[in-house]
Structure 1
Amino acid sequence: MSWFRALKVTTRSGLTVERKRLEPLIALRGAAGLAIVIAVSLSLFGPAVAAGSAFGAYQAAIATFQRSWRPRPELALASGASLGISTFLGYLTGSHLVFFLPLLALWTYLAGLAWAAGPTIGIMASSNVAMMLVTITLPTTIAEAAGHAAMMVFGGLVQAALVILFPVRRWGAHRDALADALAAEADYARRLRHDSVAAFDPEPLMLARNAAALTPRQARTRPAQLHGARGVAERIRPVLASLADPAVGVPEEGPERDRVRELLAATGALLDAAARAIRHGSPVRVPPDAVAAFRSPDTGAILSGPPQRAATRLGSLLRDVLETAGGVRPSDDTVADLTPRGSAPDPAPQSPAGLDLHTRTDEPAPAPIAKPLRRPSIFALLPVAVRAIRREARPGSPVLRHANRVAAVAVAGYLIGDALPYGHGYWAPMSAVMVMRPDFSQTYSRAVARFGGTLVGVTLATAILQVAHPGTYLSALFAVVCAALMYLLMRTGQLAAQCCVAMYVVFLLGMGGQEWSQTVPERVVLTLVGGVLAMLSYALYPAWETPRLRTHLADWLAALGEYAAAVVAHYASPAGKSCPDVREALLKARDAHIAWEQAAARAKTEPVRHRGLSNAAADDAAHALHHIGRVVMLMEAHLPERGATPVPAADALADALRDATRDGAQAIRERRIPRWKPVREALDAWDGEGVPDRVVRRGAGLFLETLEELSDALDTDVPPMTRESTDQR
Structure 2
Amino acid sequence: MRWLRTFGEVVRSGLTIEETRLEPLLALRTAAGVAIVVGLALWLVSPAYAASAALGAYSAGGATFQRTWRPRKVIALAAGAGLAFSTLVGYLAAGRLVTFLPLLAAWAFAAGMAWSVGSTAGIVAATTVGSMLVTITLPTSVGRALEHAGVIALGGVAQAVLILLFPIRRWGAHRDALADALAAVADYARRLRHDPTAPFDPEPLMTARDAAAVTPSQARTRPSVLHGPRGLAERIRPVVAALADPDIGAPAEGQGRERARELLDAAADVLDAAARSIRRGAPVQVPAESTDVLRVDEEHEVLEGTARQAAERLVELLGEAMEIAGSGGPRGEPPTLPGRAKAQFLVRPTMFRLVPVVARAVRRELRRDSPVFRHALRLAAVATLGYVIASRLPLGHGYWAPIASVMVMRPDFHRTFARAVARLAGTLVGVALATGMVRALGPDAYVFGALAVVSVGLSYTLIRTGYAYSQCFTAAYVVFLLGMGGQGLEQTVPERVWLTLLGGSLAMLAYVVFPAWETPRLTGRLADWLAANGRYAATVLRNYAEPTREHHADMRTALLESREARAAWQEAYDRAKQEPVRPRGLTSREAEEAQEALKGFGRAAMLVESYAPPADSPFAPEAQRFAEALEADTAQAAVDVREHRNPDWRRVGEALHEWEGAAAGDRSQVARRGAELQKQALENLATAVSRTPLERDVGSAREEHRVAAAMTVEGDGSEPVRRGG
Please give the TM-score of this superposition, normalised by the length of structure 2. Answer: 0.92
Instruction: Determine the structure 1 residue equivalent to 2:489.
Output: 516
Change (3 A) 1:547 1:131: same
* Partner of residue 604, structure 1: 577
Cα displacement (A) at 1:687? 3.3
Q: Residues 652 and 297 (structure 1 numbering): CA distance in 2 closer, same or farther, change over 3 Å?
A: closer
Which shifted more, 93-102 or 571-580?
571-580
* 2: CA distance, partners of 1:366 / 1:230: 17
Mapped to 2, the partners of 1:580 and 1:721 lie a distance apart of: 41
**Counterpart secondary structure, 2:301:** helix
| 2:623 aligned with 1:669 | no
Residues 113-142 of structure 1 show CA distances to partners (whole Å, capped at 9, x for unaligned) of 000000000000011112321122112221
**How far apart are residue 487 of structure 1 and its match?**
0.5
Residue of structure 1 aligned with 2:462, choices 485, 489, 506 = 489
The separation in 1 between residues aligned to 2:124 and 2:690, in whole angstroms, is 45
Query: Relative contact order, CA 8 A, sep 6+: which one is greater?
Result: 1
The alignment covers a number of residue pairs equal to: 688
CA–CA separation in structure 2 for the residues paired with 1:88 and 1:720: 60
| 1:345 matched residue in structure 2 | none
Amino acid in structure 1 at the alignment position of 2:134: V
Map 1:278-427 onto structure 2 (within 5 A). Answer: 278-295=278-295, 297=297, 300-327=300-327, 371-427=344-400
Aligned equivalent of 1:594: 567
Q: Deviation per CA, 1:616-649, whole angstroms, max 9, x where unpaired?
A: 0000000000000100001111112112111112
Counterparts of 1:571 and 1:296, CA distance in 2: 27
- Separation in 1, partners of 2:327, 2:443: 55
Matched, 1:503 2:476: yes
List per-residue Cα deviations over 1:53-92 (Å, max 9, x = no partner).
Answer: 1100101111111110011010000000000000111111
Asked if 2 retains the 8 angstrom alpha-carbon contact of 1:49 and 1:139, the reply is no
Q: Which moved more, 1:679-688 or 1:179-188?
A: 679-688
Moved more, 127-136 or 451-460: 127-136
> Which amino acid is the alignment partner of residue 444 of structure 1?
F
Q: Conserved in 1, the CA contact under 8 Å of 2:228 and 2:329?
A: no
Residue 237 of structure 1 corresponds to 237
CA shift at 1:367, angstroms? Answer: 8.4
1:185 aligns with 2:178: no
Query: Structure 1 unaligned runs (5+)?
Result: 331-364, 723-729
SS in 1 for 2:694: coil
Deviation, 1:328, is 8.3
Q: Which residue of 2 aligns with 1:264?
A: 264
CA distance in 2 between partners of 1:329 and 1:227 (Å)? 7
Contact 1:612 1:717 in 2 (8 A): no
- 1:705/1:429 CA distance change after superposition, 3 Å: same
8 Å Cα contact 1:715-1:721 kept in structure 2: no
Q: Specify the SS of the correspondent of 1:423.
A: coil
Alignment of 1:208-223 (within 5 A): 208-223=208-223
Structure 2: unaligned runs, 5 residues or longer: 336-342, 698-725
Tell me, in whole angstroms, the C-alpha distance in 2 between the residues paired with 1:432 and 1:104: 13
Shift of 1:19: 4.7
One-letter code of the match for 2:656? L
Within-5 A mapping of 1:443-462: 443-462=416-435
The 5-angstrom pairing of residues 160-175 of structure 1 reads 160-175=160-175
- Confirm or deny: 8 A CA contact 2:519 2:584 kept in the other structure: yes
Residue 523 of structure 2 corresponds to which residue in structure 1?
A: 550
User: Which residue of 2 is the match for residue 112 of structure 1?
Assistant: 112
Report the CA distance between 1:682 and its aligned residue.
1.4
Partner of 2:338: none
Deviation sequence 1:538-561 (CA, Å, 0-9, x none): 011100011000011000000000
Query: After the TM superposition, which of the residue ranges 194-203 and 18-27 deviates more from structure 2?
Result: 18-27
Match of 2:449 in 1: 476
Q: Distance in 1 between matches of 2:692 and 2:419?
A: 35
Cα distance per residue 1:233-260 (max 9 Å; x no partner): 1100010111110111121111000000
CA distance in 2, matches of 1:199, 1:577: 29
The equivalences for 1:95-174 within 5 A come to 95-174=95-174
Q: Would the alpha carbon gap of residues 138 and 272 (structure 1) be closer, same or farther in structure 2, given more than 3 Å must change?
A: same
Q: Does 1:706 align with 2:681?
A: yes
Q: 3-state SS of the aligned residue for 2:585?
A: coil
Q: CA–CA distance in 2 between the matches of 1:638 and 1:319?
A: 19
- Which residue number corresponds to residue 647 of structure 1? 620
Q: Are 1:534 and 2:511 matched, yes or no?
A: no
Compute the displacement of 1:578 (Å): 7.6
More displaced stretch, 508-517 vs 93-102: 508-517
> Cα distance, 1:720 vs. partner?
6.2
* Aligned residue identity for 1:121: A
Deviation at 1:298, TM superposition (A): 7.9
Measured in 1, the distance between the counterparts of 2:94 and 2:695 equals 53
Of 218-227 and 180-189, more deviation after overlay is shown by 218-227
Residues 270 and 290, structure 2, Cα contact 8 Å, conserved in 1 = yes
Q: 1:58 to 1:328 in 2, by over 3 A?
A: closer
AA aligned opposite 2:689: L
Structure 1 counterpart of 2:591? 618
1:473 Cα deviation after fit: 1.1
**Aligned partners of 1:80 and 1:153 also within 8 Å:** yes
Is the CA contact (8 Å cut-off) linking 1:259 and 1:299 kept in structure 2?
no
2:660 to 687, 690, 700: 687
User: Is contact 2:398-2:499 (8 Å) kept?
Assistant: yes
Indicate the SS of the match to 1:301.
Answer: coil
Report the alpha carbon displacement of residue 657 of structure 1 after superposing the two structures with TM.
0.8
Aligned to 1:68: 68
Residue pair 1:133, 1:426 contacting (<8 A) in 2 also: yes
| Mapped partners of 2:694, 2:294: distance in 1 | 55
Q: Distance in 1 between matches of 2:477 and 2:188?
A: 45
Query: For structure 1, which segment, 165-174 or 693-702, has the greater mean C-alpha deviation from structure 2 after superposition?
Result: 693-702
Aligned-pair identity in percent equals 55
| In 1, Cα distance between equivalents of 2:415 and 2:266 | 41
**Secondary structure class of the residue paired with 2:612:** coil
Provide the residue aligned with 1:336 in structure 2. none
Give SS of 1:110's match. helix
Distance 2:518 2:165 in 1: 44
2:717 corresponds to? none
Change over 3 Å in CA distance of 1:144–1:701 after alignment to 2: same
How big is each residue's C-alpha offset from its partner over 1:160-212, in whole Å with a ceiling of 9 and x where there is no partner? Answer: 01111101111110010000000000000000000001100000000000000
CA RMSD across the alignment: 1.8
Determine which of 517, 527, 533 is the counterpart of 1:560. Answer: 533
Instruction: Provide the TM-score with structure 1 as the length reference.
Output: 0.92
CA contact (8 A) 1:576 1:639 kept: no
For 1:697, the aligned partner's letter is R
Which residue of 567, 582, 592 maps to 2:555? 582
Q: In structure 2, do the counterparts of structure 1 residues 464 and 514 end up closer, same or farther at CA, with 3 Å as the change threshold?
A: same
Rounded to whole Å, the distance in 2 between the matches of 1:300 and 1:446 is 61
Take 1:216 and 1:275, find their aligned partners in 2: how far apart are those partners? 26
The AA in structure 2 aligned to 1:387 is R
Corresponding residue for residue 711 of structure 2: none
Q: Is the Cα contact below 8 Å between 1:656 and 1:679 reproduced in 2?
A: yes
1-side partners of 2:388 and 2:264: how far apart? 64
- Alpha-carbon contact 1:476-1:508 (below 8 Å) kept: yes
State the distance in 2 between where 1:393 and 1:557 align: 25
In 2: Cα distance, 1:156 partner to 1:273 partner: 39
Deviation digits for residues 325-375 of structure 1, max 9, x if unmatched?
A: 125899xxxxxxxxxxxxxxxxxxxxxxxxxxxxxxxxxx98899932111
CA contact (8 A) 2:443 2:486 kept: no
Taking the aligned partners of 1:299 and 1:459, their CA distance within structure 2 comes to 75
